[in-house]
Structure 1
């Protein structure tokens, strides 16, 4: 018999990963997430079992900065995995407070497991290469010429960019530090969900994702992040990791969106972050 949610569960509009089979809240205050088989490579960003591994391990239920909701149980069956966690009511947190929490989170020392995501940007660039790169941006009429040139230069230099990111300190990362996944503040910490890309990444990775998903200036986020990290790393180093990660991600998303029926606001966001892309290529 195929797995089915109970009739009294309420569907939630969260969790859109490639292996997401649905998310519900139960009447007794639990969130149930269904994971469907997908990518089997344990270190790949889309490894389908990772959220179950994170929840079952309890690794990030007590970390500083970001914490996961308490896992109640993880059920395995022939068709997938079901993860049960305690429901957390969302409450908006200011971007600067989120940046401070990210700074604290990256101070955590966690013994790596083979299912930690590694090389997220490298894997995503490999996907882009298979689709022909970022060529759609070359004919995007809404892009200023100089920004189009910076995007092209970033693509040409992508191998060097990855090498530069590899040379930065590699820290524990949430992997998708979007405000929708950062549910609410709890003391000095933030309760976070959707740990499907959890693992290790270059310093500034999570801060870059926060920059891409808010309207807060990079300098303001950097100041808040450094406050949370107690200035464990030079600001110039954190900034470089943030700029490179943000630039590659925002350009890649914009290029991808041009081939979609609904491109969303990715192109507008690229224009808004043009200075970040220019900084990434040294303009």
Structure 2
């Protein structure tokens, strides 16, 4: 029998990706997420079962800084996996609060499981290389000449940038640290959802995602991150990890958006972060 949501569940989102079959809120206060089969490589950023692995293991339910909601149950069937978790009451956070929280989160230490994501940006690059890549931005007339030039430099030196990220200190990362996923509060901790990219990444990775997804400057966010992490990692290493992650992410998303019928604001966001992209390109020379 094919899996179906209950009639009295309220849809929060319909399927938003290859492996996301939808999210619902139940009358008794649970959030139900349906996972559909997709990428099978367990360390790939898009491994389809990772959110179920995170939930059933309980590995992030008591972490400091950022933690996951309480898992109620995980059920598998021939068509996919259903994850039931406690609903999270949303609260408003300032960007600096989130930066401090992800800084604290990086202090958690784990013995990585085989299903931890390990090469998020490498995997995304491999996907981009199957298409036009970031170099498509070089001829984009909506972009200032300097931004077009820097996008071209990043694309030409993409392997060097990835190797540089690999040489930075590695830490635990949420993997998709946008404000839309950092939504609740539990004491001094931020409660996050959507752990599909959870794993290990370079220091500053989660901070880079906040640089892309908030209006705060990198200097303000970096100061909060260092405060949260008790300056455990050298400031210059954290900044470099955040700059490279943010630049690679915003450039890749802008390039992808040009192939879409509804491109969103990715090109405008790239223009807003022109100095971050310039810093990444300048140090890559």
Name the TM-score class by shorter chain: over 0.9
Shift in alpha-carbon separation, 1:17–1:258, aligned structure 2, 3 A? same
* Cα distance between partner residues in 2 of 1:137 and 1:93: 33
Q: Please give the alpha-carbon distance, in whole angstroms, between the structure 1 residues aligned to 2:239 and 2:135.
A: 28
Q: Which runs of 4+ in 1 moved over 4 A?
A: none
Partner of 1:157: 157
Q: Specify the alignment match of 1:229 in structure 2.
A: 229
Shift of 1:17: 4.2
**Counterpart secondary structure, 2:176:** coil
Alignment of 1:41 with 2:35, yes or no, is no
Contact 2:15 2:21 in 1 (8 A): no
* Matches of 2:15 and 2:226, distance apart in 1: 29
Q: Distance in 1 between the 2:218 and 2:51 partners?
A: 29
RMSD value over aligned CA atoms? 1.1
Once the two structures are superposed, what CA deviation does each residue of 1:158-184 show, in whole Å capped at 9, x if it has no partner?
Answer: 010011000001100000001010012
Secondary structure of the 2:82 match is strand
Which aligned pairs between 1:11-22 and structure 2 lie closer than 5 A?
Answer: 11-13=11-13, 16-22=16-22
In structure 2, the residue matched to 1:258 is: 258
Q: Which residue of 2 aligns with 1:239?
A: 239
2:206 is matched with: 206
SS at 1:230 equivalent: coil
Residue matched to 2:87: 87
Match of 1:116 in 2: 116
Unaligned runs of 5+ in 2: none
The answer as to whether partners of 1:15 and 1:194 remain within 8 angstroms in 2 is: no
CA shift, 1:14, in A, is: 7.8
- Equivalent pair of 1:101/1:189 in contact (CA under 8 Å): yes
C-alpha displacement of 1:138: 1.9
The superposition leaves residues 36-56 of structure 1 with CA deviations (integer Å, 9 ceiling, x where unpaired) of: 000000000000000000000
Measure, in 2, the Cα distance between the counterparts of 1:158 and 1:148.
Answer: 15
The alpha carbon displacement at 1:223 in A equals: 0.5
Q: Give the drift of 1:142.
A: 1.1
2:192 is the alignment partner of 1:215:
no
Would you say the 8 A contact 2:51–2:194 is kept in 1? Answer: yes
Greater shift, 11-20 or 100-109, is seen at 11-20
Q: Distance in 2 between matches of 1:17 and 1:132?
A: 21
More displaced, 266-275 or 124-133? 124-133
Deviation at 1:16?
A: 3.4
Query: 1:63 maps to which residue?
Result: 63
User: 2:136·2:255 contact (CA, 8 Å) conserved in 1?
Assistant: yes
Q: What is the TM-score normalised by the length of structure 1?
A: 0.98
